[in-house]
Structure 1
């Protein structure tokens, strides 16, 4: 936790969009504490689960696989209140950040004193301290010779804005241009919010926490699964592998189903080998396995954590028993397909491609929808949550393009 003498709290946010009035939410918060002279005394940051889709991920670079581990704003509101209390808020485009924070606190029926006239905007102050500098953070940092590597990461941007403030203070020395604000901040009262001590969550958390889903299966005593159990698990597995990628949410679903069906690691190894054999059998349907088809079989084996030798074993078994089959997911003309998230080329172009393939783009997820195409397969959008509850497969645009072929 950051703390220290009364001073400044430099804030940076990443959000799902530009306006809270459009139901945009905060997805990352960073705060850097400076004392009255501009010396850094601490920093804190976390991802925030907005409980909705993440907006333009190409800009902020935050994925739903990480967000699913993050606390909600309600979880960290008490911590955040303590970090801001008694300090002058600072940001590059201060009104933007304070507008979002006020909205988020307001959802909790709290009204902290987050007003632009009580803070410092490093963008607005650039006109005074950085002659002819552009308004954006990168431009101001370039003029002030402040490094900015990894723009649109909240903590990196907050550090850069903090360095800008320090630069302004150095240029003003020995005069303290915001001493009155420092005094006012120390006297300003804040609402009391309970600090739950919720742990912060940083980018890349999914890589460290989300081990291969098989490693999370309890090593029960081997048992022969009932055919109905095998069919139910294999159907879910086939849905997960439609786009040749097991999303974090899909891995969770496989682990949960295996636990419900009391399947052991030995059971799953057997089921996965059978699934791989079915994929190999499909590749051998015309009597020839092309290089592309073999790569598909190898990719499935890797996703199921099967050894490389399993590929040759599966192809050999498929050649000896060509009747091995699996009831696989397949779209039919007239099926309803829903799209969600920001996609390359625009969502409209993908909907047109679906029409050209005789599928029907649909605006909302219902039980009649057959497939959801999502820019991020772990998206927290309402469409994705509903699709998961209905058991509707979710695939990436790239996977959908392969299905069109």
Structure 2
């Protein structure tokens, strides 16, 4: 017996699964056979690659780091689709991506668009003057659509379109063939019931990295132990941001060096003093230099008095030396992800500054510029393995200037 409809929307890294684009978010809304909503579910999905046009779907790699893979949610997904008519706005698009994801885990499925309902196609009959896109159909049917390109929000909107179509034909069902075909679909028996993960999870789960450092008995910071940590800290703060992956790296290194919170607080003060010393080199601390000091202090959770203390320490010639990252002419720089001006423009800027854009990350590469510093691209994963700093395009622009 048909349980009702399963209205689906997927957000993806691009438009073509045949070009290795992947699903990164799934939203499903259940309705009964009259179109009344009975439940909903959504989750981010880790594609184990970069996220494509983030300016469109608005999903961050920081959130994706916490998300399950498709294989880990497939059991839940099958349970949500079984004995229901699949529905989507542009069902072929969603169907193609789901087919490819199932094929990747070795379990092919039938094309959903062969027996489902596409609210975009049906708009020709029920909303003949509406544009084909979801926003246009919703506007014509007086359905609100706030937060477009969020999978669950779009699935809710498509579910309301479905209800609109059903109301226009009530009490008859306009798709009897779809209802009858659904009951004969044999879904694979797969397990995988990972917890769903929503947008914004990183802000909820990721405390400041210092909160993850053990409180060990304070020890005198030995230079041989402090230098690797300070060098990594300098790389992390190149773009005035501590990504989730960078926070993990700092915590892991601190643990391997047996550094406690008191040790790190002292090293962070040393690092801030080094920046203060650089600012004082010409005898004047500019507004921009002070803003940088204040930003770094905030990123390291240092007290409000830390900047003045750093400037006082920086004026002392005996201050602890801190390694600073620098690019030199001829250094190799790699770019990854979709950037506002296009990757080719950024590569040309690097050339004009004397650096050498490189297509892939190798041990000779000095810097990776990524549209998202938590990027899951192959280049980003290799950069982290080699200890290559990852910074944003904005940070690279500051370095160029």
Q: What TM bracket, shorter-length normalisation?
A: over 0.9
Report SS of the residue matched to 2:24. Answer: strand
Please list, as runs of the form range in 1=range in 2, the aligned pairs for 1:273-312 lying within 5 A after superposition.
273-312=269-308
1:181 & 1:351 partners in 2: Cα distance? Answer: 51
Q: Deviations over 1:271-302 (max 9, x none)?
A: 01111111100100111101110111111111
Report SS of the residue matched to 1:177. Answer: coil
Which residue among 375, 379, 382 is the counterpart of 1:386?
382
Report deviation, 1:323. 5.6
- Which runs of 5 or more residues in structure 2 are unaligned? none
Counterpart in 1 of 2:124?
127
CA contact (8 A) 2:10 2:23 kept: yes
2:85 & 2:72 partners in 1: Cα distance? Answer: 23
- Which runs of 5 or more residues in structure 1 are unaligned? none
Alignment of 1:103 with 2:100, yes or no, is: yes
CA contact (8 A) 2:2 2:182 kept: no
Report deviation, 1:220. 1.9
Question: Do the aligned partners of residues 308 and 391 (structure 1) sit closer, same or farther apart at CA in structure 2, a change above 3 Å counting?
Answer: same
CA contact (8 A) 2:351 2:357 kept: yes
Counterpart in 2 of 1:333?
329
Report deviation, 1:191. 1.2
Counterpart in 1 of 2:204?
208
Question: Do the aligned partners of residues 28 and 84 (structure 1) sit closer, same or farther apart at CA in structure 2, a change above 3 Å counting?
Answer: same
CA contact (8 A) 1:48 1:67 kept: yes
Alignment of 1:114 with 2:111, yes or no, is: yes
Counterpart in 2 of 1:68?
65
Runs of 4+ displaced beyond 6 Å: none
Please list, as runs of the form range in 1=range in 2, the aligned pairs for 1:11-26 lying within 5 A after superposition.
11-26=8-23
Report deviation, 1:382. 0.3
Superposition TM-score, scaled by structure 1 size: 0.97
Choose 395-404 or 106-115, whichever is displaced more: 106-115
CA contact (8 A) 2:331 2:365 kept: yes
Which residue among 209, 221, 225 is the counterpart of 2:221?
225
Alignment of 1:146 with 2:143, yes or no, is: yes
Which residue among 24, 41, 52 is the counterpart of 2:49?
52
2:32 & 2:323 partners in 1: Cα distance? Answer: 65
1:322 & 1:350 partners in 2: Cα distance? Answer: 40
Report SS of the residue matched to 2:368. Answer: strand
2:314 & 2:11 partners in 1: Cα distance? Answer: 51
CA contact (8 A) 1:318 1:324 kept: no
Number of corresponding residues:
401
1:234 & 1:320 partners in 2: Cα distance? Answer: 19
